Chain A
């Protein structure tokens, strides 16, 4: 059973199809993470500031993103937006928007937490040097916050990568979906138990993208430890 299953992997373009699926997964996750870090940092800084209105907005936004299941958001942006506002996004674009919205919310909370956990003296030393608020954030607080944030950001990235499997429900064919297509087709048409091998390859592919990320974080943590 097992050795007939492994053959399925090498039929037709199956390997290429899995790699294409991996690329879709990576593309959605990577773009979302980059945008999330960018917007999340901006909102997180605002959140750590003394402007009350930003606190209220950021808190409200984070709560919504936590309450709403990702699936609901995906449906909302892919189907809902067209029905309500006649904006016809393609499925991948809708996915990137949703994961960016979610990632931004989580990231802003992480940035806020990291900034407020920095000793008060760091900010005051900057003030005492006559630096402007922007410079204090840009040169002193944010770089330190980012170092503290690294493990949590890596964690968020891998969470986003794993959650991308939800996008199949709006018709995006990513890694896991390609795997399912191969398994379903092989097992019902030719009675081959491809599942074991296909999932093994999928595991390997997820590992291939997640491993360098965790290595990078390990390397940076070591470099930045203080």
Chain B
């Protein structure tokens, strides 16, 4: 499915700094409905911070973020409302350990969105079935593998019916053999037309899933373009250098 022309999220010259250290410089970005934007870059480049600013976990110093044509960075923004439209999945396993899988999924829709349990549960079961976890519905997070936990975390965010999904290095903490099952779910999601911003180090996945790739370094968006262009012919020295680091491991994989 191809992105439409409708702009769903718009960042206009946002600046973010911790004390006197600037982590995001004048970032501007428009994301269209149905578009999958992959953000890559060395660690500490500001890509995770970017996601955290979009759903208000970090305040920005200036600039403007608009979601569905509404400015969400004004003073007095009700972030609890805004976040119901933005799904987010983190790197660390962030399921609530004292709740079962289904309780984890139901909490947001029922408590924040005041939807009926019956309706959400039906939706949750459908989604769980799609990722092959319906039989783990009443399991506790400690009984799940890392990959299963991240799939549940994705479904938990999806059940809020968000307009956009943010993925913050969701496979970075996983054992290698579990990475695939999570990426498959994300790929499926992308095909279904979900708008997504994905921060990742999985270059092959980025190439496969992205409509657009952003390369960030030192708080700047250094490069932006279609994945085949970016991966085959990066424009900047910094991007080339960054991509080269992955060549070695890819070559090794090819040999194997």
Binding site for B on A (CB under 8 A): 119, 121-122, 124-125, 127-132, 135, 139-140, 143-144, 147, 224, 226
- B90 near A131: Cβ-Cβ < 8 Å: no
6 of the cross-chain contacts (CB-CB < 8 Å) are A122-B96, A124-B94, A128-B86, A130-B83, A140-B107, A224-B98
Say yes or no: A127-B140 contact (C-beta < 8 A), given A121-B90, A122-B96, A226-B97.
Answer: no
Distance from A145 Cβ to chain B, minimum over Cβ atoms (Å): 10
Contact, CB under 8 Å: B88 / A135: no
Chain A residues positioned under 8 Å from B96 (CB to CB): 122, 125, 139-140, 144
Whether A135 pairs with B112 at a CB distance below 8 angstroms is yes
B55 located at the interface, meaning its Cβ lies under 8 Å from any Cβ of chain A in the complex: yes
From A121, A122, A132, B80 is in contact (CB under 8 Å) with A132
| A120 closest partner in B (C-beta) | B92
Contacts of B55 on A, CB cut-off 8 Å?
127-128
B157 engages A131 (CB within 8 Å) = no
Q: Is the CB of B108 within 8 A of A144?
A: no
CA distance A224 to B97 in the complex (A): 9
Question: For residue B56, which residues in chain A have a CB less than 8 angstroms away from its CB?
Answer: 127
Q: Which 5 A-B pairs have the closest CB atoms?
A: A129-B108, A130-B84, A125-B94, A130-B112, A130-B83
Distance of A125 Cα from B94 Cα, bound (Å): 6
Q: Which A residues lie within 8 Å of B222 (CB)?
A: none
**Neighbouring B residues of A132 by C-beta, 8 Å:** 80, 112
User: A119: nearest residue on chain B (CB-CB)?
Assistant: B92
B57, CB-defined interface residue at 8 Å: yes
The answer on a CB contact under 8 Å between A131 and B98 is no
Bound together, the chains give a CA A127 to CA B90 distance in angstroms of: 12
- 20 further contact pairs, Cβ within 8 A, besides A125-B153, A130-B81, A144-B97: A119-B92, A121-B92, A121-B94, A122-B94, A124-B94, A127-B55, A127-B56, A127-B57, A128-B90, A129-B83, A129-B107, A129-B108, A130-B80, A130-B82, A130-B108, A131-B112, A132-B112, A140-B96, A144-B98, A226-B141
Shortest distance in angstroms between B18's beta carbon and chain A's nearest beta carbon? Answer: 15
State how many residues of chain B have any CB contact under 8 Å with chain A.
31
* Chain B hits for A226, CB < 8 A: 97-98, 140-142
Contacts of A139 in B (CB 8 A): 96, 107, 111
Q: How far is the CB of A220 from chain B (nearest CB, A)?
A: 12
Closest to B57 in A: A124
How many cross-chain pairs have Cβ atoms below 8 Å apart between A and B? Answer: 69
Q: Is the CB of B97 within 8 A of A128?
A: no
What is the distance, in angstroms, from A47's C-beta to the closest C-beta of chain B? 22
- From the candidates A119, A121, A128, A147, name the one contacting B98 in the complex (CB within 8 A): A147
CA distance A63 to B140 in the complex (A): 40
Taking chain A's interface residues, is the majority helix, strand, or loop, or is none over half, making it mixed?
Answer: helix
Q: B88 to A128, Cβ gap below 8 A?
A: yes
Residues of B within 8 A of A125 (CB): 90, 94-96, 153
Residues of A within 8 A of B84 (CB): 129-130
- Select one of B140, B142, B156 contacting A129, CB under 8 A: B156
From residue B145, how far is it (CB to closest CB) to chain A in Å?
Answer: 15
- For B77, what are the chain A residues with a Cβ–Cβ distance below 8 Å? none
Kindly list chain A residues whose C-beta atoms are within 8 Å of the C-beta of B92: 119, 121
Whether, in the assembled complex, B61 has its beta carbon less than 8 Å from a beta carbon of chain A, the answer is: no
Whether A131 contacts B94 in the complex (CB less than 8 A), given A226-B140, A226-B141, comes out as no
Q: Which residues of A contact B98 (CB under 8 A)?
A: 143-144, 147, 224, 226
Contacts of A129 in B (CB 8 A): 83-84, 107-108, 112, 156-157, 160
Report the minimal beta-carbon distance from A136 to chain B, rounded to whole angstroms.
9
CA distance A193 to B193 in the complex (A): 87
Residue B68 is within 8 A (CB to CB) of chain A in the complex: no
- With both chains docked as a complex, state the minimum distance between the C-beta of B167 and any C-beta of chain A, in angstroms: 12
- CB contacts (< 8 Å) of B82 on chain A: these are 130
Report the bound CA distance from A139 to B109 in whole Å. 13
Q: Please, what's the 1-or-0 string for B89-120, where 1 marks a CB less than 8 Å from any CB in chain A?
A: 01010111110000000011001110000000
B residues in contact with A121, CB < 8 Å: 90, 92, 94
A135-B97 Cα distance, complex, nearest whole Å: 16
A128 touching B107, Cβ below 8 Å: no
| Complex Cα spacing A121 to B52, Å | 12
CB atoms of A130 and B113 under 8 A apart: yes
Q: How would residues 5 to 17 of chain B score, 1 for a CB under 8 Å from any chain A CB and 0 otherwise?
A: 0000000000000
Q: Which of B87, B112, B141, B160 has the most CB of A within 10 A?
A: B112
Complex CA–CA separation, A119 to B141 (angstroms):
15
Given contacts A140-B96, A144-B97, A226-B140, contact A128 B57 (CB under 8 A): yes
